[in-house]
Amino acid sequence: MEKKVTKPKAEAKPKSAANTAKKTVYKFELPELQTFLKAGVQFGHQVKKWNPKMKDYIYDRRDKIHIIDLSKTLPMLEEAMQFLAQAASEGEILFAGTKRQASEIVKEAAIESGANYIVNRWPGGLLTNFTLIQRSLKKMIELEDEFEKGVEDRTKFEVSQMKKDWVKMNRLYEGVKQMKEYPKAVVIVDAKYERGAIKEARRLRIPIVSLVDTNSNPSIIDYPIPANDDAINSIKLVIGLLAEAVKKGNGGKGVQHKLKDYSVFEVKLIKSEVKNDDAVEVASGESEAPKARIAKVEPKATKATKNAKGMLEDIQEKKETTKVAKAKKTRGKK
């Protein structure tokens, strides 16, 4: 009988450093369920406007309005906070909320937690075309430095035009002018409203944390949080908790925003010293400027007089030619 040959067992491959690295677990104290109910986090949209993919997160319907299941919201919120804290310890976070009721809340939360933010309008290509956007950010910072130090050799009109350019850029890039690399995560208030931000983040595979209402699609979000994304109290509660997680992750050493309104800032006008050859004084004490001016004016005057004399001569020649022509005609008739 032939002996069975046993193959040697393959040696176990060493685990990569990324797999062996232990993630730190952060402790968060979430508010009581009653606090979420008072803030109106459980209220969704009308039944006719719902997204079927939100079926698993809906508890019931009342008066043609869907009610979100908060028993699923709380664990998903805690999971998102754990992820954000870990991401903030590795890099910067970007908050995006351009809805009217969310812009001020997002701005305050981002500044307090040390994160970047977009609150007016999502600038197309902020993530997918970041290399070109950095040129605009650099120009904006240069303008601000010039305003601070003083503008050299510019008129008041030119300074006002510079301020108008700054206002346009500041409206878009106020919260991201210090962003020099891609964010580790993007926090969004309304997944349906901020479609542009979600498309760019998904294209670059940047993790997304977002509030998803009953009319949103949770499948395109990495860390969805079923919650009311229209009520101010609901947005303030959830975004505040997410900002707290970001601050705990970066240890309070996040982005330091320097906000200043340069549209009303008094800019100093600096005039550089220009050497004037006409103002050079002669050793005797008399200046050569008048002589130079006279020398420049004289040839202009002589040219004008020559042109005038030439015009008179041409007119006289034309008169003589017309007289000769008339005389010839009269002779021919006779």
| For residues 29-51, average pLDDT | 93
Average pLDDT, the chain: 82
- Say if residue 3 is exposed, middle or buried (CB neighbours under 10 Å; 0-12, 13-18, 19+): exposed
pLDDT of residue 309: 64
Q: Which of 10-14, 74-78, 109-113, 316-320 has the lowest mean pLDDT?
A: 10-14
Nearest alpha carbon to residue 85 among 105, 62, 113: 113
Nearest alpha carbon to residue 64 among 42, 39, 45, 51: 45
Rounded distance between C-alpha atoms, residue 185 and residue 70, angstroms: 24
Residue 10 above 80 pLDDT? no
List of domains in the chain:
37-127+182-253 (3.40.50.10490)
pLDDT of residue 308: 62
Of 132 and 309, the one with more pLDDT = 132
pLDDT of residue 167: 92
Contact 73/65 with Cβ under 8 angstroms?
no
pLDDT of residue 317: 74
Residue 56 above 60 pLDDT? yes
Three-state secondary structure of the chain: CCCCCCCCCCCCCCCCHHHHCCCCCCCCCCCCHHHHHHHCCCEEEEHHHCCHHHHHHEEEEECCEEEECHHHHHHHHHHHHHHHHHHHHHCCEEEECCCCCCHHHHHHHHHHHCCEEECCCCCCCCCCCHHHHHHHHHHHHHHHHHHHHCEECCCHHHHHHHHHHHHHHHHHHCCCCCCCCCCCEEEECCCCCCHHHHHHHHHCCCCEEEEECCCCCHHHCCEEEECCCCCHHHHHHHHHHHHHHHHHHHCCCCCCCCCCCCCCCCCCEECCCCCCHHHCECCCCCECHHHHHHHHHHHHHHHHHHHHHHHHHHHHHHHHHHHHHHHHHHHHHC
At 175-196, the pLDDT tens digits run 999 898 999 999 999 999 999 9
Split at pLDDT 50, 70, 90, the class of 293 is very low
Contact 224/212 with Cβ under 8 angstroms?
yes
